[in-house]
Amino acid sequence: MDVAPQRCSSRAEQEAYPEFIRIEIMGRNQRGWCTALMLAATTALTTVPAKALVPTVYVPSSAELQGSAIGIGRTAAQLLGLGQPEEAARLAALAVRLRPNDERLWAVLAEAQLRSKQLKPAANSLARAKQLNPKNAGLWFAEASLALRDNRPGDAIPLLDQGLQLDSTNASAYFDLGNARIMQKQYRPALKAFEKASALKPSFWEAVNNQAIVLFEMGNTREAIQRWRRVLTIERNAEPMLALAAALNRETPNDDEALKLARKALQQDPNYVLPAHQKQQLWGLNLRLAARDLLKNPKLRDAVERAEANADPSSTP
């Protein structure tokens, strides 16, 4: 049976491996141009002077580079989780150069820039991410957080409202909305937002803590005390401890529980001895004055002096 001549190799194969001659096994009694090519090439190799090898560099394709960008973005996000925002920002910047139309990578870059206090670049990155995917609620929330960080609650509120239209069950967004209302001294809307946040996420102790802060500013000290007590059943944190102590001392000066809580709070986080730190945590004027009165108590002098020595003033902007 006659067998049609077969190709020795494709052009791509020859170009991919120029230093080798690819030999294909021919069928029985088959003769073709492959054999002639092999002989001609062998003759050429014996007559042409040898040349130095020219090194080649592998250049990844566009698709491969874009695929690598996803992995780089994941690494950047992991670095954020490890508390290394500067390194994360550098990697995320590389990722968006490789894959510029992926809003997820722009969002990682914005978060890294925000955490490393690069506020203007973070705003630009978020704007790019939103342009790519305006229906991503998280991008609206992130831009609102940036506005809050920059003390612009009026800008944050419409951004949060827009995001909540896309994702109405986001507890953190309601928490930020409450913080924005506190910054505007709109206590009733703030309380409503914090209550919504804790209803969506009962373990969200920060939301319950801020409910108590708002209630105290509104003059409802007893209800504030109850909510701070509730917080401490979830998380034994220095902030609600000292706030509860200040409220108890306001109700009953020299209260033993208040003094014990104050000592414990200052030992756990000395920064709360600083009025500037209290204000940064959105403590209202009434609560800061109550804390000042408590910390003037002579029985707390040693605890206050120790906290002042260990506090970090740079923790407040």
Burial of 74 (0-12, 13-18, 19+ CB in 10 A): middle
Q: Tell me the CATH number for domain 135-201.
A: 1.25.40.10
Q: Is 295 exposed, middle or buried (0-12, 13-18, 19+ CB in 10 A)?
A: buried
Decide: pTM greater than 0.95.
no
Distance between CA atoms of 218 and 275, rounded to whole angstroms? 20
* DSSP H/E element including 132: helix 119-132
The CATH-assigned architecture of domain 203-317 is: Alpha Horseshoe (1.25)
Q: Which two tokens stand for residue 46?
A: 């014996």
Per-residue pLDDT tens digits of the chain, which is 317 residues long: 444 444 444 444 444 333 333 333 334 344 443 433 333 343 333 444 545 555 555 555 666 666 788 999 999 999 999 999 999 999 999 999 999 999 999 999 999 998 998 989 999 999 999 999 999 999 999 999 989 988 999 999 999 999 999 999 999 999 999 999 999 999 999 999 999 999 999 999 999 999 999 999 999 999 999 999 999 999 999 999 999 999 999 999 999 999 999 999 999 999 999 999 999 999 999 999 999 999 999 999 999 999 999 999 887 65
Domain boundaries, the chain: 81-133, 135-201, 203-317
Identity of the amino acid at 213:
I
Closest CA to 270 of 293, 303, 301: 303
Rounded-to-integer distance, Cα 234 and Cα 108, Å: 31
